Amino acid sequence: MTENPPSNDRTASEERPDQTWCVRLPDHVGTKIEQRLPETNFESVEEYVTFALEALLRELDEGEHPEEVPEHSQSEPEDSDAIQERLESLGYL
């Protein structure tokens, strides 16, 4: 009898702090990240991608529980004039 190799399947509930995953990025994405690195505190593309994905996952997790979002953080959409005035007052326009 031969043994099956160990499964590489991972679930979100499994904690494996000492293991890393390898992800392939399209060249154009990696290049853009490399170009941004000097403007950041990140030392590598890996650090940048890890930070970005963790931030995105936190945002998505918060979106799954809208009842936990404080009421004052849910604002009415502003019209384009109000947005333009706000951007001008902040010095962006």
Q: What does the pLDDT look like over 28-50, one tens digit per residue?
A: 999 999 999 999 999 999 999 99
Which token pair is 34? 């490399």
Question: Do residues 40 and 25 make contact, with C-beta atoms less than 8 angstroms apart?
Answer: no
For the entire predicted model, the pTM comes to 0.50
| pLDDT for the residue 92 | 65
Which token pair is 54? 């963790």
Contacts of range 4-12, beta carbons closer than 8 Å, 24 or more positions apart:
none
